[in-house]
Amino acid sequence: MYQHLFAIVERLPAFWSPPASSLGPVAVHPVDELQLIASPCDGPPDANARALGSHHDVVRSTLDAAAVLPFRFGTVVPAAELPDWLEAHRARICSTLAELRGRVEMSVKLLRLHCGHGADRVCRECAGGAPGVAELGDLAELLVERAGVARWRFSSSAHGDNVAGAVAFLVPRPEVHAFLARIAPVASRASGIAVVPTGPWPAYSFAGSFDRLPIAWMPATPPPPARWFG
């Protein structure tokens, strides 16, 4: 038996209830003053659209908690190893939750347009003059400058004529509307690039990756009696 991990949260509201999940029954497990959101499973789930959407729905439903550390899809730990996994990651879990407390992720997608011939298809005859990855990077810098947010991440991709980018911002929850107002002038003046803010989301871009604890990393001596789980 395994546990599929959705998130570790701080001060989950009493009114919270998980959405229906295709990944199995969702349960809340006390972890000292925190709560682990997980589902029992037989092994790593298939990464199909339904499962990915279900994982995200469960994680996003916890956004009213004081702090949310989201786990990426497929973070699966054998149930018998879970106490040791939590102990091994305890310091990192606590420090990451402290960084994410009271904050959400806002994503600003940058999508290349095509010379007025339609944003829904690639205009091959005009592709050479349309904005590329460098232009997306320049626009991302302007967004970062106007956003006034200390933590952000930029990513871009180019597949043939399709060029896209995104800037993820870690925004204090009360400042979401002010953040959108600050970046609006950049979005309205962008030429050849659609600027599409989305969110708030769980802060996946700032949570890091937590993999299953390999057996070889297990502590050689028995852990102390006080355990995080079990």
In a 3-state reduction of DSSP, which class is residue 201?
A: strand
Judge whether residue 131 has pLDDT over 70: no
Q: Which residue has the tokens 């006080």?
A: 226
40: its two tokens? 């029992």
Q: How many beta carbons lie within 10 A of that of residue 183, not counting itself? A: 23
Sign of CA pseudo-dihedral 135, 140, 146, 150? negative
Judge whether residue 169 has pLDDT over 60: yes
Judge whether residue 220 has pLDDT over 70: no
| Range(s) within the chain of domains with CATH label 3.30.70.260 | 103-202
Q: What is the pLDDT of residue 134?
A: 79
pTM over 0.85: no
**Cα–Cα distance, 71 to 208 (Å, whole number):** 8
pLDDT (mean) for 72-82: 90
In a 3-state reduction of DSSP, which class is residue 82?
A: helix
Q: Which residue stretches of 61-213 are H helix?
A: 82-88, 90-100, 133-147, 176-189
In CATH, which superfamily holds the domain spanning 103-202? ACT domain (3.30.70.260)
In a 3-state reduction of DSSP, which class is residue 179?
A: helix
Mean pLDDT of the chain: 83
pLDDT (mean) for 116-127: 46
Judge whether residue 68 has pLDDT over 80: yes
Judge whether residue 141 has pLDDT over 90: yes
Quick: pLDDT tens for 44-54.
888 899 999 99
